[in-house]
């Protein structure tokens, strides 16, 4: 019933929100900053959050979470969440911190969370909403997660953070009197699961003639399940550069760059204490979905592959598994090295959101290349029923780059997915070595020597002059399907993120109060430089490489601007990094 109510209200809500939020986002380059302080009442069976926006001057240790949401010139909002401000002394205290962190994020992002889901549901489900079969599957899988969390500390903390997200969303609805933006807990769970839903929506379809409120027809299945370009480059002076460009539908260009500080102490029991995770994301996601993560130990990204072998879905899709976002985030929080990350991720494989994951180990990669043995770059390539783990350190050292472009590297995964038949039928576009991006990376990767070069590479689209693209704007590292003259689609590369091993390790070797003028200036014009860790440069929006005009909804062939997104995307790279808390933050 709640789903019906939400979707019946969609046309009216769309008009109201488009005016209030769309215009505000169009002015997104104007600086804003919001901050909340959270305490948790954990003495009752149902935990509650005391959320304050302007507390009296108190020491930061009196709060269970502190979060700041602010604008940036990149088109990403910036969210920094401190789950606890002193290390947890017990699992219970870590859970309190996780719950508070979820509350803080949802309270700050509630309106944008609703907008994101509104755009998603309108384009994916139309007025009828998700099918009853899909809702039943998602509820059953969530129930399994609730059972499994009792055996998995990292999962328990992640799901406790989600519990807090639900509470914070409800509290924001009540306090801001936005009852028309109510979303059920299951809807918020599905919001976090949109990557996995790329498969599940097709497996549990509703009506074939569903009316859509979207601005364009549904994307072809193959396009829906093909996301992202990624590259790792070993430079001549021994640095490791990492870049990633997310591909997705343009309605989803409501973006947040997040930094989570988990003050979990030694609770995880994996040797990882108080992890800090930096990642590109969207409102309300407790993970990346792009995916792109940077931490003190790892850089992780993925590109999504097609699975043409439908028998695999019939055999292996079960609700007694953990979704991709749950496994990716628990691995990122808890794994001390790349090999452990792939091991954790491989457990309880859901077979949904089937990606090639690339995991770069900072400690091993920080050694002299001559001393590398293994474990610098490890792949985890997933299909329903199987995850192939491959250490490609030797290949990376030899060719000095590692590309990722929506075709599996593992011969086993390639064959099981059904790629050989597609290669035979459609040619080189389905060949790992000869597809267009493989050729572009092979030609250009070894020319990259610094972060600025990698920034350009992740926005690369020279379709007018590059013979590999043959005049096609969709054949590029950063495609623009909206420029296809025959069948324009609001789809393509919607961002870029770049970092380097050397920059991260250098930031970690400095104390909290050190001056690091290469990085972000705190306090605006005239402010002092404050140390920040794990620097990542990011930009939101379709590429403008080589004079391509910025994408603009009002000047596009698409009739409706999605709720809450800017009209014009002409943003620039900005740097994101973690900042220390002031004692009286």
Of the candidates 26, 281, 302, 11, the residue with the CA atom closest to the CA atom of residue 165? 281
Cα separation of the two ends of the chain: 43
Closest CA to 293 of 534, 34, 569: 534
Please state, in angstroms and rounded to a whole number, the distance separating the CA atoms of residues 275 and 297: 9
Q: How does residue 61 score in pLDDT terms, banded at 50, 70 and 90?
A: low
Q: For residue 27, what pLDDT is reported?
A: 39
The pLDDT of residue 260 is: 98
Domain positions in the chain:
2-213
**Both tokens of residue 583?**
């004692």
CA dist 548 to 439, 551, 569, Å? 22, 9, 12
Percent with pLDDT over 70 in the chain: 85
387/585 Cα distance (integer angstroms): 44
List the structure tokens of 344.
């954790």
Write down how long the chain is. Answer: 585
Residue range 182-236, pLDDT digits in tens: 999 999 999 999 999 999 999 998 654 344 333 434 444 454 446 899 999 999 9
Q: What is the pLDDT of residues 32-58, one digit of tens each?
A: 789 999 999 998 789 999 999 876 555
Query: Hunting for tokens 């549990």 — which residue is that?
Result: 204
Given pLDDT bands bounded at 50, 70 and 90, which one contains residue 352?
A: very high
One of 1.10.439.20, 3.40.50.2300, 3.40.50.300, 3.30.43.10 is the CATH number of 2-213, namely: 1.10.439.20
Q: Which residue has the higher pLDDT, 508 or 298?
A: 298
DSSP, res 266: T
Helices first, then strands: H and E counts in the chain: 19, 21
pLDDT greater than 70 at residue 73: yes
- For residue 561, give the DSSP letter: P
Split at pLDDT 50, 70, 90, the class of 29 is very low
Query: Both tokens of residue 475?
Result: 């054949």
Q: Which helix (H) or strand (E) holds 222?
A: helix 221-224
Q: How far apart are CA 297 and CA 356, in angstroms?
A: 20
List Cα–Cα distances, 402 to 204, 248, 298, in angstroms. 36, 22, 16
DSSP state of 493: E
> What backbone torsions phi and psi does residue 367 show, to the nearest 5 degrees?
-80, 165
pLDDT, tens digit, for every residue of 271-318?
999 999 999 999 999 999 999 999 999 999 999 999 999 999 999 999
Residue with tokens 């997915």: 417
282 burial via Cβ count (<10 Å: 0-12, 13-18, 19+): buried
The answer to whether the beta carbons of residues 567 and 561 sit under 8 Å apart is yes
């Amino acid at each position: 019933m709640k789903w019906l109510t939400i979707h019946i209200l969609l046309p009216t809500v769309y008009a109201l929100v488009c005016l209030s939020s769309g215009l505000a986002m169009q002015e997104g380059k104007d600086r804003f900053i919001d901050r909340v302080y959270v305490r948790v009442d954990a003495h009752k069976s149902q935990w509650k959050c005391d959320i304050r926006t302007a507390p009296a001057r108190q020491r930061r240790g009196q709060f269970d979470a502190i979060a700041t949401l602010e604008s940036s010139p990149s088109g990403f909002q910036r969210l920094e969440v401190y789950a606890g401000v002193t290390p947890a002394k017990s699992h219970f205290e870590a859970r309190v911190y996780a719950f508070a962190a979820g509350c803080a994020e949802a309270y700050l992002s509630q309106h944008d969370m609703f907008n994101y889901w509104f755009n998603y549901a309108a384009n994916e489900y139309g007025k009828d909403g998700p099918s009853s079969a899909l809702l039943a599957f998602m509820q059953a899988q969530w129930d399994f997660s609730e059972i499994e969390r009792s055996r998995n500390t990292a999962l328990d903390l992640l799901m406790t953070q989600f519990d807090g997200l639900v509470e914070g969303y409800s509290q924001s609805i009540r306090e801001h009197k936005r009852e028309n933006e109510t979303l059920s807990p299951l809807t918020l769970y599905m919001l976090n699961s949109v990557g996995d839903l790329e498969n599940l929506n097709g497996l549990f379809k509703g009506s074939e003639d569903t009316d859509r409120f979207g601005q364009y027809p549904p994307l072809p299945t193959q396009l829906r399940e093909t996301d992202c370009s990624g590259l790792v480059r070993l430079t001549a002076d021994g640095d490791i550069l990492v870049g990633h460009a997310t591909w997705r539908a343009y309605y989803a260009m409501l973006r947040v760059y997040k930094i989570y500080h988990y003050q979990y102490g030694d609770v995880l029991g994996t040797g990882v204490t108080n992890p800090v995770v930096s990642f590109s994301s969207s409102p309300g996601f407790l993970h990346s979905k792009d995916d792109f993560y940077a931490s003190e130990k790892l850089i992780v990204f993925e590109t999504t592959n097609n699975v043409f072998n439908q028998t695999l879905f019939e055999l292996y899709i079960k609700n007694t598994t953990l979704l991709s976002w749950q496994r990716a985030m628990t691995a990122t929080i808890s794994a001390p090295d790349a090999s452990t990350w792939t091991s954790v991720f491989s457990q309880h494989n859901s077979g949904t959101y089937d990606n090639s994951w690339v995991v770069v180990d900072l400690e091993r990669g920080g050694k002299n290349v001559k001393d590398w043995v293994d474990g610098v770059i490890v792949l985890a390539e997933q299909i329903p029923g199987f995850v192939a783990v491959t250490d490609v350190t030797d290949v990376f050292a030899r060719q000095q780059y590692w590309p990722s472009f929506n075709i599996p590297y593992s011969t086993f995964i390639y064959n099981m997915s059904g790629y050989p038949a597609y290669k035979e039928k459609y040619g080189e576009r389905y060949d790992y070595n000869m597809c267009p991006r493989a050729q572009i990376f092979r030609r250009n990767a070894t020319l990259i020597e610094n972060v600025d070069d990698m920034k350009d590479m992740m926005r690369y689209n020279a379709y007018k002059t590059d013979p590999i693209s043959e005049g096609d704007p969709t054949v590029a590292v950063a495609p623009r399907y909206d420029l296809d003259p025959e069948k324009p689609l609001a789809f393509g590369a919607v961002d870029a993120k770049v970092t380097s091993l050397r920059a991260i390790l250098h930031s970690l070797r400095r104390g909290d109060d050190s001056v690091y003028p290469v990085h972000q200036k705190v306090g605006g014009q005239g402010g002092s430089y404050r140390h920040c860790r794990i620097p990542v440069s990011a930009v939101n929006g379709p590429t403008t490489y080589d004079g391509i005009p910025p994408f603009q909804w009002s000047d596009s062939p698409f009739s409706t601007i999605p709720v809450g997104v800017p009209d014009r995307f002409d943003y620039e790279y900005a740097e994101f990094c973690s900042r220390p808390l002031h004692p009286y933050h």
